[in-house]
C-alpha cells in the first residue's frame, strides 16, 4: 500500500489509476507465496496475478538450469572419468602431433610415447625439432619417432606429411601447432597474417582430411584432436586473427565430429587456459596477456586433460580462464559483449600503446 501512495503522489491520481493501484497492491499482498521474478520489476499500475509470476519464475529458472546444466553436467562427468590410453582405445600404433618441437605439442608427444605409441613430430624444420625427436628416441627405446620439418603456414606441407606417413597407419592426430600475432590487425603485413591463418586453421583442416580419409578407407578407429584455445569463444581484440582461427578450428571440430563419431573417429577441440610455453615469447607483451599469464600452468599438465575428453565430448575447456569466459558469455550475449568492448577499448592500455 505504501508503494501505491508513493506512486500516487508522483503522478496524477485518477479513479482508474487508483483502482489499478489497489488491485496491484492486493495481488502483491494477498499471495505472499509467490515471490517470483516479476515482483522484482516495478510495474505499479499493472496487476500481476500470482500464477503468471510463478510461471515466469519457473520458465527463467528452467532456462538457467538448461543453459548451465548442459555445460556443467558433461563437464563434471568428463572430469570424473579417468584420462585415457589411446593406444588401447583405438588399438593404435602411430600418432602424429603438429607443433611437437616444444610446449604443449612436445608434452603430448611424450605422453603418447609413454602409452606406447610411435610418434611423428611435425614442426618447422629447426634444430629444436631435431632435439625433441632425439630426446624422445633416446628416452623411449623400442619406439619409433619421425620428424617432418615443414612450415604449416606455407602450402606444400601436406605433400610432405602425406609422403612421410604413407607407410604407417596414423590413428591419433593432434592438430596442435599454432602461434599468435598480437597488436593491431592493420599493422601486420598481409603475408604474415596469411601464414598465421594457414598454420592455425587451414593446415589443421587439410591434415584432418588426409588422415580421416585414410582411416575411413581402411576402416580404422581413431581420433583427431585440436588444440584450440579459450580465445575461440570470446572476442580477442589485439589478437584478432588468433581468436578467429581458434573459433574456426573449434567450429570445424564440432561439425566434422558429428559426421565422424558413428563411423569410428572421435573428434575433440580442447580449449586450454594460459600455458607457460614459448608461445608468448613471440608476441607483444599485452597487458591483458600478462594478467592471464598469472594463471598459467606448465605444458606437462595439459596432456592428461587433453586425452580425458576424447570420444566423450566434442569440446572441452581446460582451466579457470577458459571456463570463466564460457560462463561470462552465458550471461552476456557474444555480440553485446564485443560491442561493449568496442565502446571502451580506446581507454585500454593495450590500445593506447598503439601496438
Ligand X SMILES: NC(=O)c1ccc[n+]([C@@H]2O[C@H](COP(=O)([O-])OP(=O)(O)OC[C@H]3O[C@@H](n4cnc5c(N)ncnc54)[C@H](OP(=O)(O)O)[C@@H]3O)[C@@H](O)[C@H]2O)c1
Nearer to ligand X, 4 or 270 (CB): 270
Determine the Cα–Cα distance for residues 39 and 28; give it in Å rounded to an integer.
Answer: 8
Among residues 275, 286, 310, 313, the one that binds ligand X under rule CB under 6 A: 275
Nearer to ligand X, 97 or 260 (CB): 97
Site for ligand X in 290-349 (CB under 6 A): 299
3-state class (DSSP) for residue 338: helix
CB of 253 to ligand X, least distance (A): 13
- Regarding 234 and contact with ligand X (CB under 6 A), the answer is no
The DSSP result for 157-220, as a single string, is HHHHHHHHTTTS-EEEEEE-------S-GGGS-HHHHHHHHIIIIIHHHHHHHHHHHHHHHTT-
* Piece of 46-54, 71-79, 149-157, 342-350 that binds ligand X (CB under 6 A): 149-157
> Is the torsion defined by CA of 105, 108, 113, 119 positive or negative?
negative
Among residues 274, 303, 309, 311, the one that binds ligand X under rule CB under 6 A: 274
CB of 243 to ligand X, least distance (A): 10
- Regarding 208 and contact with ligand X (CB under 6 A), the answer is no
Residues annotated catalytic, as ranges: 242
- Regarding 201 and contact with ligand X (CB under 6 A), the answer is no
**Alpha carbon separation from 16 to 11, 20, 25, 39 (Å, rounded):** 13, 6, 14, 22
Cα dihedral: 43, 44, 46, 50 (round 10)? 80
Nearer to ligand X, 36 or 103 (CB): 103
Among residues 55, 71, 179, 184, the one that binds ligand X under rule CB under 6 A: 179
Helix axis angle, 2-10 to 15-30, nearest 10°: 150
* Piece of 74-82, 85-93, 137-145, 174-182 that binds ligand X (CB under 6 A): 174-182
Q: Binders of ligand X: how many residues, by CB under 6 A?
A: 28
- Regarding 223 and contact with ligand X (CB under 6 A), the answer is no
Residue 42-61 contact track with ligand X, rule CB under 6 A, x = bound: --------------------
Q: Give how far the C-alpha of residue 137 lies from the chain's centroid of Cα atoms, to the nearest Å.
A: 32
Nearer to ligand X, 213 or 278 (CB): 278
- Regarding 225 and contact with ligand X (CB under 6 A), the answer is no
Sole residue written with cell 565430429: 257
Say which DSSP state 272 is in: E
- Regarding 91 and contact with ligand X (CB under 6 A), the answer is no
- Regarding 277 and contact with ligand X (CB under 6 A), the answer is yes
Among residues 4, 113, 173, 177, the one that binds ligand X under rule CB under 6 A: 177
The length of the chain is 355
- Regarding 153 and contact with ligand X (CB under 6 A), the answer is yes
Q: Give how far the C-alpha of residue 207 lies from the chain's centroid of Cα atoms, to the nearest Å.
A: 20
> Is the torsion defined by CA of 234, 302, 147, 281 positive or negative?
positive
For residues 148 and 198, is the Cβ–Cβ distance under 8 A?
A: no
- Regarding 128 and contact with ligand X (CB under 6 A), the answer is yes
Where on the chain is the footprint of ligand X (CB under 6 A)? 99-105, 123-124, 126, 128, 151-153, 176-179, 199, 227, 229, 272, 274-275, 277-279, 299
Amino acid at each position: 500500500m505504501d508503494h501505491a501512495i508513493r506512486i500516487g503522489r508522483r503522478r496524477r491520481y485518477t479513479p482508474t489509476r487508483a483502482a489499478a493501484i489497489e488491485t496491484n497492491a492486493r495481488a502483491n499482498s494477498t499471495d505472499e507465496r509467490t515471490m517470483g521474478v516479476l515482483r522484482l520489476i516495478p510495474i505499479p499500475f499493472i496487476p500481476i496475478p500470482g500464477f503468471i509470476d510463478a510461471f515466469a519464475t519457473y520458465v527463467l529458472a528452467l532456462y538457467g538450469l538448461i543453459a548451465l546444466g548442459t555445460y556443467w553436467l558433461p563437464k563434471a562427468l568428463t572430469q570424473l572419468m579417468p584420462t585415457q590410453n589411446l593406444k588401447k582405445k583405438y588399438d593404435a600404433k602411430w600418432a602424429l602431433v603438429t607443433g611437437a618441437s616444444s610446449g604443449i605439442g612436445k608434452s603430448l608427444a611424450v605422453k603418447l610415447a609413454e602409452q606406447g605409441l610411435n610418434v611423428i613430430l611435425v614442426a618447422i624444420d629447426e634444430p629444436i625439432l631435431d632435439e625433441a625427436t632425439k630426446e624422445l628416441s633416446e628416452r623411449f627405446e623400442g619406439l619409433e619417432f619421425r620428424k617432418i620439418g615443414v612450415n604449416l603456414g606455407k602450402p606444400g606441407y601436406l605433400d610432405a606429411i602425406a609422403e612421410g606417413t604413407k607407410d604407417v597407419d596414423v590413428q591419433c592426430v593432434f592438430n596442435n601447432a599454432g602461434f599468435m600475432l598480437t597488436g593491431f590487425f592493420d599493422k601486420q603485413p598481409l603475408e604474415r597474417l596469411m601464414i598465421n591463418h594457414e598454420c592455425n586453421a587451414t593446415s589443421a583442416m587439410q591434415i584432418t582430411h588426409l588422415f580421416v580419409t585414410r582411416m575411413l578407407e581402411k576402416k580404422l578407429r581413431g581420433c583427431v584432436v585440436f588444440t584450440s584455445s579459450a580465445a575461440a569463444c570470446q572476442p580477442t581484440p589485439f589478437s584478432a586473427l588468433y581468436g578467429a582461427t581458434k573459433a574456426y578450428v573449434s567450429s570445424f571440430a564440432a561439425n566434422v565430429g558429428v559426421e565422424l563419431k558413428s563411423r569410428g573417429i572421435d573428434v575433440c577441440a580442447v580449449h586450454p587456459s594460459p600455458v607457460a610455453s614459448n608461445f608468448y615469447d613471440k608476441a607483444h607483451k599485452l597487458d591483458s596477456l600478462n594478467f592471464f599469464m598469472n594463471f598459467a600452468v606448465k605444458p606437462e599438465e595439459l596432456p592428461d586433460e587433453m586425452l580425458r575428453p576424447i570420444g566423450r565430448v566434442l569440446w572441452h575447456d581446460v582451466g579457470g580462464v577458459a571456463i570463466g569466459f564460457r560462463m561470462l558469455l552465458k550471461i552476456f550475449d557474444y555480440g553485446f559483449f564485443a560491442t561493449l568492448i568496442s565502446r571502451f577499448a580506446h581507454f585500454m592500455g593495450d590500445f593506447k600503446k598503439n601496438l
